[in-house]
Structure 1
Amino acid sequence: MGVASSYLSKAEVQRLLGVNGFGWWRLIRKYESFPKPEERPVGLVVFGEGESEEVWDGTHVYTWAAETPEFAHRGALLLRPLPEVRAPGGWSGYRDTVRGPALDWHTGLGTIRIVHSDDRKAASDVASAVVKSGNPDSVVTVCALFGDMGFHGPALVAADTAHPGIEYEASWGDAAALAGESLPWWPNLLRLPQVIRLWRPGAEPAVVEVPANEHERVLRRAAENEAFDETSRMAVTDMANDIRNNRIDHTGHDNSIFGERGHGTEPNPVVIGAVPDTAGHPLPCDGDPQMLRAGWRALAGSSHPDAVAALEVAAVRHPGLLPFGAVTEVPIRSGTVSDRWARRLTMCDPTAAHAVLAQGERAQSFLIDPLTDMPVLRTTGNDGKTIWRFYAPLSLPAAGEELAAVVLHHTLWIVTSGGHVHPAPCTPNEHLWWGNGWGDRPSEAAAVSDALLGDLGATVDLHGHWKAPKGLTALFNEEHKQGTELSRSTLLHARMTPPRTR
């Protein structure tokens, strides 16, 4: 989350600190620690300062004031020295807010409202809404979750109702000391209004079912669709179970971190508000990879909307289970190596794989490569020009042929001894390139070429691509022109030749 930035003009700083022109002159000369002005960020509008381009960081000024005895009464409320004698505090009930569920705590300073959200500007937005409503609950400050761990519990971001637009970091330990008791905390996935609303001091942690996210809901819907075969439904169920297991494990891990005892001898004043329901956990997943891949292959060829939605999830979560490699784009130009390849493409009805490949855009035509079964689109690129967009294959049909040449045209193209042209195989999370990579070297291209020189039908594995022969990597590191053809003999010679040292 972090503390949201705010900027103040000179006039606004003077109002915050309660000083006139002479007081400002005196302050600047007396306090070398006073925050220095900054150049006004581009697009920032600050009223009340004429033509001045200088502004002050509101958080820095507000924090400085709290730490400076002369101005502490005008500084950040939760950064001022805590009173040695504090009036008894305590829980004051649940509140719905514009940024999520909150609990109020009565303290000697007034009501502290803690919003159980780590969204950016949650503290400031709720404090502003409180002021706008007339502040019927006498809230003096609003705290929200920073999203990280502090020294005495979860880190907090605070915004006082006196200056709701300024956020600052606050201590969970200080808030708990003012409240007079340990404060409840809920893990992210269980931070639900219906759960937090029921909490009372002294209550045991609620056991709550971790809600499904959108990805899991999509997969469960596909798993219940009888239009798909059993293997496909097992494949999507496996991935849905994996998502649920991860979310339950993540929630338990959050509780173990934020509910830990503390850095010193004293435990952190933290009460865990809810724990995940682990009945039946973990669900079965990580099934037979061949079965899973077969199920996803069938879904990729489906035209059902549920297959499209499920495939979109898999493409993000586990693309290695899908029957195709990296998304690749090349411009459509006559006389190029890709033009030779395109002549064998055949028109077809769109499948789920085509729909995912389209990335939400409208395609001109849907095709398939009959030799590799890879889906292909004729569509428009970002520059408005027509392109081929396709999935790279994971392997090539060999049929007794061997690699005859590699042609460089926006990716690697393989020319076989039988005269066929294919986009080079590439795993989903890699890409094939050549030339100076500004410190990076095109070892992926070298690894693919090395594998296919030995076996044209090899399934490439680029996990260890940096181990590719140094001579091949050096060859692809050269600044070859588009359309350059590297013959088999050139590749073999480079593979056996150590690169020259400079």
Structure 2
Amino acid sequence: MGVSSSYLSSVEVQQMLGINTFGLWRLERKYDDFPQPIEPYDPLRHTKEADAVWDATEVYRWAADTPEFAHRGAVLLRPRPEDLADGDWAGYTHTVRGPALDWHTVLGTVRIVYSDDRKAAAEVATDVAATGNPDGVITVCALYGDVGFTGPALIASDTAHPGIEYEAEWGDVAALAGQALPWWPDLLRLPRLIRTWQPGAPPAVAEVPPNSNEQILRRAARNEAFDAVSRAAATDMANHIRNDRINRAEHENEVFGTERFGAQPHPVVIAAEPDTTEHPLPCHGDRQAVRAGWHKLAVSNHPDAVAALEVAIGHDPELLPFGAVTEVPVQPGTVTERWARRLAPCDPTAAHAVLAHGDPVDAFFVDPLTDMPALRTVAVNGRPLWRFYAPLSLPAGSAELTTIVLQHTVWITTSDGQVHPAPCTQTEHLWWGDSRHDRPSEAATVADALLDDLGATASLHEHWKAPRGLIALFTEEHEQGAELTRSRLLLARMSPPPRTR
């Protein structure tokens, strides 16, 4: 989240500052630090607008810091009154952006909305102004989502100008309130907890609610259609997610409640703590057993397996029995067609359903040599497309790599006449050419491993350590269908690194 942008015309600047056209002309010459107008860009017309405008936040902040206009500037940035009287807690209120607390101060009511959604402050301030502002709210603060110099960072929007947002200090609001302000970690920012809080109350101990991913995994873990190994795998990941969420809440309380810059602690009251009665839940058990469970879920045809697999791909894809999702066009006469002739039609599994990603599918297949799911769908341009998981490794045996073919991805041909997509980890992809967005060192790493052992499982964690000659070879701009022979690959691997002067 950040301050949302808004702009003022020259008329609106005059209205904000209480001046006329001549006053604005004079202002720009009297104050060297007065914000300069800008020429707004229209993205639809690809042109600049004719009339210059001012950044509303810059003007509003400038006014608060300029004695002549401080009374018209951002409320929380104006000079603070001397002999400041303590404010009073005014209770809970619900807003269009969620739960909030009000504080009566010498400036008026300050409303703190416990949301870090974009434009939360502006939308609540706009709603307050539109409904007549019965509570006398002068400014609305929302959470920035980060920590500032005096506590949680804030975004403010004053009800006098609800379309303008600016950054504010937690410590300044606490000074107006006359006490430390309550803080809830993100996962315990619940209306029922905020509604019941009162000054001086001890932190509430509350269960961290499960998110949708944990709920999906718990449902799979309870499903007796799956065997014990599969249910244990789902439980393991659900426990890990739960532990992470509790740890996150504890860490936020520590950072926002005790972190400080300078000598003074943040004026923060921790209002809720996560229930850690059974924390941490057991997880990260036998990695091989967990992988076996996910393999069984991947070949299931139950909807709960599909949902669980979608969670696993986003949470810990290294537990899954397949590599990166790969797409290549259906092209007769290419190495892709040689591979596709081997595919066996099959009924869809959970892995196929996740691979389809909601797109229309012509047919489902499995590679009988690697067990990798594949399907035929349609690209955005309407042309047929193969989509499949890259294998993690190739079938071992006495065969060896004979060529690498570069055809929309990296393909391996072997001495026993087979062709395979090159093995790849779940979180990477293989490419070639001198590109700022792709790293040929990954393809070079796979080639280096397979030259020695066709059945090797290449680790790409340190792909930049691949032989420099192989990296240079894959950095070349090879055309689609280019073949790199075993001899050429071996020679490139032996090439010494360039000399340094």
CA distance in 1, matches of 2:385, 2:128: 54
RMSD (Å), alpha carbons: 1.6
CA distance in 1, matches of 2:325, 2:149: 46
Matched-pair identity in %: 67
Query: Do the aligned residues in 1 keep the contact of 2:39 with 2:50 (CA within 8 Å)?
Result: no
Which range moves more in the overlay, 403-412 or 237-246? 403-412
Q: Which amino acid aligns with 2:2?
A: G
How far off its partner does 1:173 sit? 1.0
Which range moves more in the overlay, 188-197 or 255-264? 255-264
Please give the secondary structure, in 1, of the residue aligned with 2:59: helix
1:35 aligned partner: 35
1:226 aligned partner: 224
Q: Deviations over 1:322-346 (max 9, x none)?
A: 0000111111111101101111111
- Candidates 124, 127, 152, aligned match of 1:126: 124
- Candidates 347, 350, 362, aligned match of 1:349: 347
Q: Deviations over 1:189-229 (max 9, x none)?
A: 11110110010000000001111111111111110100011
CA distance in 1, matches of 2:28, 2:434: 53
1:413 aligned partner: 411
1:456 aligned partner: 454
Q: How does 1:305-316 map to 2 (within 5 A)?
A: 305-316=303-314
CA distance in 2, matches of 1:115, 1:128: 13
Q: Which amino acid aligns with 2:139?
A: T
Q: Which amino acid aligns with 1:227?
A: A
CA distance in 2, matches of 1:327, 1:438: 21
Q: Which amino acid aligns with 1:352?
A: A
How far off its partner does 1:56 sit? 0.4
How far off its partner does 1:440 sit? 6.4
2:96 aligned partner: 98
CA distance in 2, matches of 1:263, 1:490: 59
Query: Do the aligned residues in 2 keep the contact of 1:381 with 1:387 (CA within 8 Å)?
Result: yes
1:10 aligned partner: 10
CA distance in 1, matches of 2:27, 2:468: 65
Q: Deviations over 1:260-290 (max 9, x none)?
A: 1632333221101101111111000101111
Gaps of 5+ in 2: none
Which range moves more in the overlay, 436-445 or 236-245? 436-445
Q: Which amino acid aligns with 1:122?
A: A
CA distance in 2, matches of 1:44, 1:142: 33
Q: Deviations over 1:222-265 (max 9, x none)?
A: 10100011101000110010001011111100000100163233
CA distance in 2, matches of 1:52, 1:493: 63
1:190 aligned partner: 188
Q: Which amino acid aligns with 1:408?
A: L
Query: Do the aligned residues in 2 keep the contact of 1:474 with 1:499 (CA within 8 Å)?
Result: no
1:48 aligned partner: none
How far off its partner does 1:382 sit? 2.4
Please give the secondary structure, in 1, of the residue aligned with 2:258: coil
- Candidates 146, 149, 163, aligned match of 1:148: 146
Query: Do the aligned residues in 2 keep the contact of 1:205 with 1:274 (CA within 8 Å)?
Result: yes
Query: Do the aligned residues in 1 keep the contact of 2:431 with 2:438 (CA within 8 Å)?
Result: no
Q: Which amino acid aligns with 2:85?
A: A
CA distance in 2, matches of 1:150, 1:311: 39
Q: How does 1:203-214 map to 2 (within 5 A)?
A: 203-214=201-212
Please give the secondary structure, in 1, of the residue aligned with 2:249: helix
How many residue pairs get aligned? The number is 497
How far off its partner does 1:500 sit? 5.5
How far off its partner does 1:44 sit? 9.7
Query: Do the aligned residues in 1 keep the contact of 2:101 with 2:111 (CA within 8 Å)?
Result: yes
Query: Do the aligned residues in 1 keep the contact of 2:431 with 2:439 (CA within 8 Å)?
Result: no
CA distance in 2, matches of 1:108, 1:450: 72
Please give the secondary structure, in 1, of the residue aligned with 2:53: strand
CA distance in 2, matches of 1:96, 1:191: 13
1:295 aligned partner: 293
CA distance in 2, matches of 1:388, 1:160: 55
How far off its partner does 1:475 sit? 1.5
CA distance in 2, matches of 1:148, 1:238: 31
How far off its partner does 1:437 sit? 2.2
Q: Describe the shift of the 1:488–1:262 C-alpha distance in structure 2 as closer, same or farther (beyond 3 A).
A: closer
Please give the secondary structure, in 2, of the residue aligned with 1:181: coil
Normalising to structure 1: TM-score of the pair? Answer: 0.96
Query: Do the aligned residues in 1 keep the contact of 2:392 with 2:425 (CA within 8 Å)?
Result: yes
2:111 aligned partner: 113
CA distance in 2, matches of 1:263, 1:474: 49
Gaps of 5+ in 1: 46-50
CA distance in 2, matches of 1:32, 1:494: 63
